Amino acid sequence: MAILDINEIRAILPHRYPFLLVDRIVEMEPDRVVGIKQVTANEPFFQGHFPDFPVMPGVLIVEAMAQTAGVLVLHDMPDRHNKLVLLVAVENARFRRPVVPGDTLRMEMKILRKKASVAKMAGVATVDGAVVAEVEVMCKLADKEEKAPEPKPAEIIG
């Protein structure tokens, strides 16, 4: 049973299809959250990763885990519509087995440390009880009005 369904998640996170990677929240405590992603054959990334052996990219598993963490960070925030949770660090990422169409990805994220605008979280993603990924992420809370610095021409070229 969902604590938050997709519409409630959409009211919290700014992500939209095809980049909204958490379908429902099934558990939530002040320092812990569990999200679910139903991985279907219709996911756009499977067209190229890989056509003959569809595997969910590890970076998207990490993103799904970070989005689940973002729900926890933003859920009780009164002005959350004016905030973004930005991923600023990924540490200790480990991928144990492929995630494929038909899998139900369960993502459990726990707060390790939290300050006013920064949270460090650790998580485990499982499919049918088997660990598929582990990660630690650091997220920064930012105002939506904050703009990224304009890149200099040399930074664009590389």
User: Per the domain annotation, does 1 fall within a domain?
Assistant: no
75 is catalytic: no
Q: What are the two backbone dihedrals, phi and then psi, of residue 68, each rounded to the nearest 5 degrees?
A: -60, -45
Count of domains in the chain? 1
Of the residues 15, 49, 75, 81, only one is catalytic, namely: 49
Per-residue pLDDT, averaged over 96-125, amounts to 97
Q: What are the two backbone dihedrals, phi and then psi, of residue 46, each rounded to the nearest 5 degrees?
A: -70, -20
Q: For 3-30, what is each residue's pLDDT tens digit?
A: 999 999 999 999 999 999 999 999 999 9
Q: For 53-71, what is each residue's pLDDT tens digit?
A: 999 999 999 999 999 999 9
User: Per the domain annotation, does 21 fall within a domain?
Assistant: yes
C-alpha distances in Å from residue 117, one per residue of 71, 84, 138: 15, 11, 11
Amino acid in position 42: N
- Show the domain range for 78: 6-157
Per-residue pLDDT, averaged over 101-129, amounts to 97
The CATH number linked to 25 is 3.10.129.10
User: Per the domain annotation, does 18 fall within a domain?
Assistant: yes
User: Per the domain annotation, does 109 fall within a domain?
Assistant: yes
Residue 151 in 3-state DSSP? coil
Q: Which pLDDT score is estimated for 158?
A: 53
CA 7 – CA 24 distance, rounded (Å): 9
The share of the chain scoring above pLDDT 90, in percent, equals 81
User: Per the domain annotation, does 76 fall within a domain?
Assistant: yes
**Closest-CA residue to 32 (of 103, 93, 86, 107):** 107
User: Per the domain annotation, does 152 fall within a domain?
Assistant: yes
Quickly tell me which residue has 């200099």 as its tokens. 152
